[in-house]
Structure 1
Amino acid sequence: MTWQLDAGRDLVKSFGDRMALFVRGEGAYLWDGEGTRYLDFLAGIAVNSLGHAHPAFVAAISEQAATVAHVSNYFATLPQLELAARLKRLAGTGDTGRVYFGNSGAEANEAAFKLARLHGGAERPRILALTDAFHGRTMGTLALTGKPYMQEPFLPMVPGVEFIDSTIEALEAALDDRVAALFVEPIKGEAGVIDLPEGYLAAARELTERHGALLIMDEIQTGAGRTGEWFAFQHEGITPDAITVAKGIGGGYPIGALITFGTASDLFYPGTHGSTFGGNALGTAVAGAVLAEIERAGLVQNAAERGVQIRAVIEGLGSPLIDGCRGQGLLIGIGLKHPVAKAVVAAAQERGLIINAPNDATIRLVPALNIGDVEIDEFAALFAAALADVEATLSEGVVA
């Protein structure tokens, strides 16, 4: 198709070949340029919280664009202030909380990196992150990302970051009074939807408080209700010093935020950070509308219930390829007994199902938060067929 030639000619190669050309979306479905319909269980990688072309999303963009879209960060707008107040309420920061707005998850984590530096100063030069973590691809967030193969082409990294294993024992050994901050993903999404050990976040909170370090939670993939709570840390009953959010809060509009708690809210001062487009009226109006609809429609609870339902469906398939499920709510990782995840993704797309493979032995499901019985029944049939296709090729020795 000509679009493939154009994509190869006009777009940078960092993303590889595009898998399809989509021209329209509605609800949980996408249509390609040839009119083929796909069930979307990727949702823009946990971004499209309300699915595609949701009326609340469309109305917010239309109405705000017709009023004011951008005034620079020298001024405030009502959508910006309303969204900051909503995020503080949902996160439970209390009156001490503050919000910084950017345009992506990476920008939110860059702001958090600077927050850690401001807290640490010369006396606390160490910043801890977890092996196999993913916090972004900018030079700052790449330094926090515990994946050496991603860092290698861009060495040297921003200094000061140390990586530790995701165990309580490693935490206890690494934390001391020279640590400025600990960065944690509550569920390591890009590593294959890997859950942290039981009690990990409580131990991280206790140890960081004991040593005066910040606990910074990367909720970019887990936030906005995806795990069955507004934020994943709320499952554990702890209070971090800061969280970063993006993806699902905008429902498809690019926006990210750093939310601070308590004394961490006083670290930034004028001139220490900024973004021309961050917190613009259009983006904050859309995010406010998306979060309001998630709240109005009870989609946080729906994520919790549908996650249980989908896990039961997967376990009921009885496929010899499946090696259990991980994650919480509608952030689901399906372990595979063979490194055939990319083949399963390709087979699913051939069947009309969009899913994702964060690594060779994991399938990731992150559908819209408002999916229901109809979409789940369709997913079950399509996914079972895709697995059967790959099982057949395995038996024939086609897939290694």
Structure 2
Amino acid sequence: MTTEFDLGRLLAERGAERYELHSRYLNHQLPRMLHTIGFDKVYERAEGAYFWDADGDDYLDMLAGFGVMGLGRHHPVVRKALHDVLDASLADLTRFDCQPLPGLLAEKLLVHSPHLDRVFFGNSGTEAVETALKFARFVTGKPRILYCDHAFHGLTTGSLSVNGESGFRDGFAPLLPDTAVPLGDLEALARELKQGDVAALIVEPIQGKGVHEAPPGYLRAAQELLHRHKALLIADEVQTGLGRTGDFYAYQHEDGVEPDLVCVAKALSGGYVPVGATLGKDWIFKKVYSSMDRVLVHSASFGSNAQAMAAGLAVLSVMENEQIVANARARGEQLKSRLAALTDKYELLADVRGRGLMIGIEFGRPDSLKLRSRWTMLQAARKGLFAQMVVVPLLRRHRILTQVSGDHLEVIKLIPPLIIGEREVDRFVDAFTDVMDDAHSGGGLMWDFGKTLIKQAVANR
């Protein structure tokens, strides 16, 4: 007798085994790390900007799944679109026809970047970057890609080649020909371009690692330099795109910037179906796909699938109808200004920066002797421990999920769902103020936990 698959029953029977299953069959270090810092929570459900645990307590999400949940979790419009596309029983992924949804999504997406003409749909941000790197090298006939120090563009081999963090690259060489240049350094860019072998510069208008924005005028000047040397500008908007920074794309904060290729992903998915897109100029696509023999020279088995396209169309509709970009700008300015006002109050708080709802909170060496000695002790064990000391009580005491913005960085990055309102801003600022008060009291639970982190850091050396 055939037993019908019952997902609800399976979760009810074995959901409590989640951490054990992960330890046994997946990345065994993840549950270990979560347990060490007290993040081994069991979340039962989620909606909008909140999670709930089995006790019914709510948790404010200021992480948005690393930016995937731009509209929060389970937005009703996106959810309905996915139900509708499943119910439509479309003849999807035949590979030898042209379905309507990819063309409709491309048309809608290109409205927001009118200088671009065509779209390739893949399945992730790193795949969008891989597409841009391949296209740039092919159409220019040059091998080398420039990227910026501390950049993050993905973890597959091509995108890893333009990753500015050695911790991700170590042990995976040899990679593609590449060279890092400092973000904002036009002289370094010009020196590399003079060698004549550069296909493109790929750049995040605001870097995810540390939340560092390209200096005013840099992107436009870089674009002019690149074009003078017949190289391309690639804008990686995987995290910054679709309203995150208070404009549809982060490069649009600077007049006259028109990248040759733009990479998007994350929030375009609606948080449901993986999707990536590489937007580009007509001449680039026509050179890559130069004949019928080359029609499949770059493709993806699941690219342009109906579920992903439906999710993307629903996301763009919600963004327009619910004024998501305007909300990100307004709430971001409110959150950033309130946090920046605290820098004079707390000596451990060094800087607050970013745009829209992509905000970096940086901590630095305090002036007072007592705090300075404790800070030095943490730094000697491992840089980045103080930021982790802030992230932990935000979750444990205030039920707010945040993240440290990169390995060895004393920076917390806030990338909440773009739908948050004043209530969520108030909740975060109040909680952050409480944690900072505790840190500056010279005692308290934070510094006790710091000792645990120091022991763990020393043990892992």
TM-score w.r.t. structure 1 length? 0.93
Relative distance call for 1:222 and 1:29 in structure 2 (3 A) is: same
Cα distance in structure 1, aligned partners of 2:403 and 2:134: 32
Partner SS, residue 252 of structure 2: helix
Indicate the residue corresponding to 1:11 in structure 2: 26
Q: 2:217 matched to 1:168?
A: no
Indicate the residue corresponding to 1:244 in structure 2: 263
Quote the offset at 1:217 in angstroms.
0.6
Indicate the residue corresponding to 1:195 in structure 2: 213
Indicate the residue corresponding to 1:259 in structure 2: 279
Quote the offset at 1:304 in angstroms.
1.1
Alignment RMSD (CA, Å): 2.0
Q: Is the 8 A contact 2:82 2:307 kept in 1?
A: yes
Q: 2:131 matched to 1:111?
A: yes
Cα distance in structure 2, aligned partners of 1:261 and 1:198: 25
Q: Is the 8 A contact 1:73 1:279 kept in 2?
A: no
Quote the offset at 1:40 in angstroms.
0.7
Cα distance in structure 1, aligned partners of 2:263 and 2:219: 16
Q: 2:165 matched to 1:147?
A: yes
Relative distance call for 1:211 and 1:66 in structure 2 (3 A) is: same
Match of 2:50 among 18, 23, 29: 29
Partner SS, residue 241 of structure 2: coil
Quote the offset at 1:390 in angstroms.
3.6
Q: 2:298 matched to 1:273?
A: yes
Relative distance call for 1:279 and 1:392 in structure 2 (3 A) is: farther
Q: Is the 8 A contact 1:73 1:275 kept in 2?
A: no
Q: Is the 8 A contact 2:154 2:163 kept in 1?
A: yes
Indicate the residue corresponding to 2:339 in structure 1: 314
Cα distance in structure 2, aligned partners of 1:111 and 1:87: 17
Indicate the residue corresponding to 2:118 in structure 1: 98
Q: Is the 8 A contact 1:73 1:278 kept in 2?
A: no
Partner SS, residue 359 of structure 2: strand
The one-letter code matched in structure 1 to 2:394 is: A
Q: Is the 8 A contact 1:250 1:283 kept in 2?
A: yes
Q: Is the 8 A contact 1:28 1:51 kept in 2?
A: yes
Q: Is the 8 A contact 1:68 1:282 kept in 2?
A: no
Partner SS, residue 341 of structure 2: helix
Indicate the residue corresponding to 2:418 in structure 1: 369
Instruction: Using the TM superposition, name which of 269-278 and 2-11 deviates more.
Output: 2-11
Indicate the residue corresponding to 1:345 in structure 2: 391
Q: Is the 8 A contact 1:72 1:277 kept in 2?
A: no
The one-letter code matched in structure 2 to 1:219 is: E
The alignment covers a number of residue pairs equal to 394
Cα distance in structure 2, aligned partners of 1:44 and 1:374: 20
Q: How does 1:383-394 map to 2 (within 5 A)?
A: 383-392=432-441
Instruction: Using the TM superposition, name which of 341-350 and 24-33 deviates more.
Output: 24-33
Q: Is the 8 A contact 2:125 2:265 kept in 1?
A: yes
Cα distance in structure 2, aligned partners of 1:155 and 1:4: 32
Partner SS, residue 354 of structure 2: strand
Relative distance call for 1:161 and 1:291 in structure 2 (3 A) is: same
Relative distance call for 1:8 and 1:155 in structure 2 (3 A) is: same
TM-score w.r.t. structure 2 length? 0.81
Partner SS, residue 345 of structure 1: helix
Quote the offset at 1:117 in angstroms.
1.8
Identity %, equivalent residues:
37
Quote the offset at 1:291 in angstroms.
1.3
Relative distance call for 1:144 and 1:73 in structure 2 (3 A) is: farther
Quote the offset at 1:297 in angstroms.
1.1
Q: How does 1:52-71 map to 2 (within 5 A)?
A: 52-68=73-89, 70-71=92-93
Indicate the residue corresponding to 2:353 in structure 1: 326
The one-letter code matched in structure 2 to 1:261 is: K
Q: 2:209 matched to 1:182?
A: no
Cα distance in structure 1, aligned partners of 2:442 and 2:242: 39
Cα distance in structure 2, aligned partners of 1:394 and 1:217: 45
| Higher Cα radius of gyration | 2
The one-letter code matched in structure 1 to 2:405 is: P
Cα distance in structure 2, aligned partners of 1:142 and 1:86: 30
Cα distance in structure 1, aligned partners of 2:285 and 2:207: 26
Q: 2:276 matched to 1:231?
A: no
Instruction: Using the TM superposition, name which of 389-398 and 233-242 deviates more.
Output: 389-398
Which structure carries more relative contact order (alpha carbon 8 Å, separation 6+)?
1
Cα distance in structure 2, aligned partners of 1:390 and 1:13: 32
The one-letter code matched in structure 2 to 1:32 is: D
Partner SS, residue 263 of structure 2: strand
Cα distance in structure 2, aligned partners of 1:53 and 1:108: 24
The one-letter code matched in structure 1 to 2:207 is: K
The one-letter code matched in structure 2 to 1:35 is: G
Indicate the residue corresponding to 2:307 in structure 1: 282
Quote the offset at 1:68 in angstroms.
3.5
Q: 2:431 matched to 1:382?
A: yes
Cα distance in structure 2, aligned partners of 1:75 and 1:344: 53
Relative distance call for 1:324 and 1:8 in structure 2 (3 A) is: same
Quote the offset at 1:394 in angstroms.
6.2
Relative distance call for 1:263 and 1:243 in structure 2 (3 A) is: same
Q: Is the 8 A contact 1:352 1:382 kept in 2?
A: no
Partner SS, residue 300 of structure 2: coil
